[in-house]
Amino acid sequence: MSLGHNLKELRQQQSLNQQDLSDRSGVSQATISRIETGSVRQPGSSALKNLADALGVSADSLMDDTAHLARVHKDRLHQIAEALNAFVIHKNGHLRFISQTLADLLGYREEELLAKDGIELLFAPQSRPIAWHMVTSGSSDAYEALMVRGDGSSLPVEITNVNISEKERLVIARDITTHYCQQGAFRVLQAGCDADKMRDLGKVVRILGDELGAMGVQFEAVDLQVIDEQRNLLACYRAYSEARGYRPLQSVVNLQESLGRFASLRGLVSYWNRDKAWEREADEDFRQMTQEIFSDSMYRPGLLLDVPFAQGMLGLGLPIGGPRRTEQLTTILGEFTRSISLVVKQLFELQSLREKLDSTN
């Protein structure tokens, strides 16, 4: 096969047009065109090397039939990447290939990613330095990072790099959302073990907000509603996101009186009784309830998501226009409700014990 044929085929495999290859290699688009059409059969050694480097192959493979072997190798590599939920990246950061499964998980079409800067596009800002270091250094040590989906939401992953050539890496990404949730839920439970009064739940909710923020979850506030039907009380706790200063709020109100006044609270209790998650737009009734319970007229989330647990509901206020992967967020909140439920149960028992002791004195 000719140099021109090999060059064109390799370029097209990487979804590059002639100008893209020119920008990457420093060889003019006109020269690339003449090579591909056969007008230039033996370009200068410098141009040949630059083109080969830009395509991630050797200069020799461009010149003869070894290019065919290189393509066979690349096809096999792509099959491996597909099986391992991985992508292939050049040490300069450009994506060569991404498995369809991983592209779907991240919410991208393959053509949106190929030949783009994979580090800048796929990794959260706080994870880019280590991702760059691991790709450029050729290290195969596993590390944890946050990847970014097309809608802006985050995906916690464990990354392992495999060197497949001097300049290319096979990057295997494993979703560790559940692992992150379990670790975070344990830390929330630890914080709850130090609590001895219901008002201490405000601190626990703030720590829960810290954990969600570390996972890359974008939210306006975390809400905890503890429903005590026996005492006719509703205990409300809220921790705002880091952007709002993690400011914690808490309030205890008469349950039946509040149910009579706010439709959004009636809906919340209804979903709690049916043990169902509740997703809805924040409306004026919710904003009025927020104003009266927390004296806060500035909190205006776009979407509300609440997940039930034994003693109440754990919820998130999501930003207007932000990512809305509510199915995933429901799962994440569900992991945390186990810890919250244990903490609330412990505090209820302590409170009941104190009341019994007080009644005997």
With contact defined as beta carbons under 8 Å apart, do 135 and 93 qualify? yes
- In terms of CATH, what superfamily is 179-360? GAF domain (3.30.450.40)
CATH topology of 82-175 equal to that of 179-360? yes
Average pLDDT taken over every residue of the chain: 86
Residues 6+ apart with CB under 8 A from 73: none
Over residues 169-225, the pLDDT tens digits come to 999 999 999 898 999 899 898 888 877 777 778 888 989 998 998 888 889 999 999
Domain boundaries, the chain: 1-64, 82-175, 179-360
Average pLDDT on 323-330 reads 81
Over residues 93-136, the pLDDT tens digits come to 899 889 989 999 899 988 888 888 999 999 999 999 999 999 99
Range in 71-80, 296-305, 340-349 with the lowest mean pLDDT: 71-80
Q: Which of 87, 117, 115 is nearest to 101 (CA)?
A: 87
- Please provide the distance, in angstroms rounded to a whole number, between the alpha carbons at the two ends of the chain: 98
Tell me how far apart the alpha carbons of residues 296 and 312 are, in angstroms, rounded to a whole number: 22
Tell me how far apart the alpha carbons of residues 324 and 301 are, in angstroms, rounded to a whole number: 12
- In terms of CATH, what superfamily is 82-175? PAS domain (3.30.450.20)
Integer angstrom CA distances of residue 249 from 15, 115, 273, 281, 346: 53, 48, 25, 22, 21
With cut-offs at 50, 70 and 90, classify the pLDDT of residue 80: confident
Number of H helices, E strands in the chain: 15, 11
Q: Which fold has domain 1-64?
A: 434 Repressor (Amino-terminal Domain) (1.10.260)
